[in-house]
With several copies, the nearest count.
Chain A
């Protein structure tokens, strides 16, 4: 394992410290743990709390700030944070307008957030949550855990964050978050694995001509392994799966071409070149495109594609100002 770190034990805390120190006027770390909040608590609005394991940088701490999150709780690498830390985060940012937790659909995240929400409710904090499940690589079914939450979460942060900033009620913010969730779909792939610092070795191994299709964001293997193909072929595979899931035809979308951490921007742009042409040919109108590292898996090389189907409300909120380390508008 070759990493630019100081010690395996210190990774999460030094990373959060480093993030906060990059914007000390805007961000603050809670004493109790790796919980990032806005330096100045915003009153009179619904507070947005997100989080999950570390290793997805800039998610989630990088999206704390005006127009997006109020708080991000970071667990150990790829391990959802514990209820007590989430509870501290909720307490720190809770307002009379209430708190909305944005949870990605993983058993661990859901269970820990649920327990934290119980703890907050017990203290009469008004708190609700939404569960993001945008990954079309895994089948949705009543009998399983359902789809995973992946890069689409960033768009939930953006849009629910804008709604909250507008002064909407908890119910309204939750409704718009649910609307994003209903309209956002993602699928990802990897050409090289990542290494959890504490594990010391990669989560899986791929030979020179192999790739994993349908990966999540925790370094796990994907739904299947395949022979590596061209960027265009791979992008087509992912897009076809997304486009088959809900009807995008004739609709306006936001495209997110997301790098998994070690993918050079050069490759993400090459992928975007295909994506734009393919969507145009499929009769899908691109309203805006984001290309970069938004929801990563440490130093995994690979990418995910996300499409968010828009309506006027979502467009307006997508365009609304945001001032966070990782997303400015």
Chain B
């Protein structure tokens, strides 16, 4: 996976998020303040505008640039969280023009670590972590078990999708939805959903080859 592919994935994620803006906002309406899609769309629109300036940069610089851009345009909870995720992923890809499958897995691990650190959250609190963590686990298991990245990522996406479903069954203890207590039951977490979309998009781009 080279820097061009990474740029392609980022561009595709930006497109996807903009397309799902209303859906994500609608989800946030139910258990939050109805801005998750608006926030991310604003951020990824500005990422899109920045992409040309990243053209020849290494993967670490690209991911860090995306993170910085998200931090300074998204706002809300998801801005610092996704921003930190990309920045942390960028850290472990510093100077690299290409990633091995193992490095890709390590980058996702770093991203998740960033979210946990920044959000002081763990799995099971009805946040983006409930999509990201299971996805990471399935992906890592797949790679460790000898699957190729595409196949492993397919498992990861399935796990993330299950994680999103799982968020419907639990009460939020982090983020804005936590104020609703029982009322957050039955609703899927917007952040987990946007995380699923990002992973799905990465998968689709890689599958296209």
Contact = CB atoms under 8 A, between A and B. Distances in A.
Q: Do chains A and B touch in the complex (CB under 8 A)?
A: yes
Contacts of A214: 179
A196 B183 contact: no
A144 B31 CA distance: 16
Interface of B is mostly: helix
Given A203-B29, A218-B33, 16 more contacts: A75-B75, A76-B75, A82-B74, A83-B71, A83-B72, A107-B176, A137-B179, A196-B34, A199-B29, A199-B38, A203-B33, A216-B33, A218-B176, A220-B31, A221-B180, A223-B181
Interface of B: 25, 29, 31-35, 38-39, 42, 71-81, 118-119, 173-176, 178-181, 183
Interface residues of A, number: 39
A199 B29 CA distance: 9
Contacts of B78: 108
B38 A76 contact: yes
A198 interface: yes
Contacts of B35: 76-79, 196, 198-199
Given A115-B80, A196-B34, A143 B180 contact: no
A144 B81 CA distance: 17
A178 interface: no
A216 B176 CA distance: 10
A152 to B, nearest CB: 16
B21 to A, nearest CB: 9
B6 to A, nearest CB: 24
A111 interface: yes
B32 A107 contact: no
A133 B195 CA distance: 29
Interface string A128-155: 0000000001110001110010000000
A259 interface: no
Given A198-B35, A199-B35, A108 B183 contact: no
Given A199-B35, A219-B34, A224 B176 contact: no
Contacts of A111: 77, 79-81, 118-119
A139 B76 CA distance: 22
Contact of B75 (A112, A148, A203, A224): A112
A144 B178 contact: yes
Which of B25, B39, B80, B181 is most buried by chain A, counting CB atoms within 10 A of its CB? Answer: B80
Nearest to B173: A144
Contact of A204 (B29, B79, B118): B29
A84 interface: yes
A258 interface: no
27 contacts: A53-B76, A78-B33, A78-B34, A79-B39, A80-B79, A82-B72, A82-B74, A84-B72, A108-B79, A108-B176, A111-B79, A115-B71, A138-B179, A138-B181, A139-B181, A144-B178, A145-B175, A196-B34, A199-B34, A199-B35, A199-B38, A220-B33, A220-B179, A221-B180, A223-B179, A223-B181, A224-B183
